[in-house]
Amino acid sequence: MMFTVGNGECIFFWSDMWIENVVPKEHFPRIFALACNKLGKVKDYGSMQDGRWTWHIQLRRSLFGWEVQQWENLMSLLKECVINPDFRDMLVWKHSTSGMFSAKSFYKAAAMRNLEVDGMWKLVWTGFSPSKVEVFMWQLIKGKVAVKDELMKRGCFGEEVAACSICAADVSGNDVLPCVV
């Protein structure tokens, strides 16, 4: 999950993922350490001047030479961000074209990243989805959901019913969500 910036009223500048798929305090730790306001929203770090957004990030002291590169990298990323006071900030699921979360898009993203099950808990237990969705996704990853394929493995069905009830596709493979309908 990540944010798409609108007016900057809902997004925490340092702790939310909103620029280039990074969390600023993790990607720019020295600048975060020097920031005067560590809890502010995006809108608190700039203002509109002559119809354009201008960034104003206050630091506790001047930068040392070895910190300048990190500052320039942050400013370079911020230069690409467009703050629009007429639109609200939005939370989007970055693994689907629509920006909407679905179990299928989650499974595809997890499979593409080839993550091990133990490392996936961060993706599942985000707190952004209803608890029942998070529990279902965790059970799905652990192979505990009684989908037709799992029931066949447990001997509840014979091999003759190894087809999707909706589209008649073969479900005997490793795909948890093979149905394209």
Final residue before a domain boundary, out of 90, 111, 137: 90
Residues 97 and 83 occupy one common structural domain: no
Per-residue confidence (pLDDT) for residue 73, from 0 to 100:
95
Does any domain span residue 168?
Answer: no
> What residue numbers bound the domain in which 44 lies?
2-90
128 within a domain of the structure (yes/no): yes
How far, in Å, CA of 106 to CA of 115, rounded? Answer: 12
Q: Is 53 exposed, middle or buried (0-12, 13-18, 19+ CB in 10 A)?
A: buried
User: Do the domain assignments include residue 10?
Assistant: yes
Same domain, yes or no: 8 and 69? yes
pLDDT in tens, 6-45: 888 989 999 998 888 889 999 999 999 999 999 999 999 9
Three-class SS state of 31:
helix
- Residue 8 and residue 82 in one domain: yes
Q: Is residue 160 part of a domain?
A: no
Q: In which residue are the tokens 């009223």 written?
A: 9
Residues 82 and 100 in one domain: no
Nearest Cα to Cα of residue 95 among 122, 123, 118, 127: 123
Same domain, 46 and 108: no
Q: Are 84 and 132 contained in the same domain?
A: no
pLDDT per residue rounded down to tens, the chain (181 residues): 778 888 889 899 999 988 888 899 999 999 999 999 999 999 999 998 888 889 999 999 999 999 999 999 999 999 988 888 888 988 887 777 777 777 777 777 776 665 554 566 666 767 677 888 888 887 877 777 766 666 676 676 666 666 666 676 665 554 555 555 5
Which contacts of 66-72 are long-range, i.e. CB under 8 A and separated by 24 or more positions?
67/30, 67/31, 67/34, 70/28, 70/30, 70/31, 71/28, 71/31
Measure CA 121 to chain center. Answer: 13
Same domain membership, residue 73 and residue 41: yes
Q: According to the 3-state scheme, what is the secondary structure of 112-144?
A: HHCCCHHHHHHHHCCCCCCHHHHHHHHHHHHCC
Domain count, the chain: 2
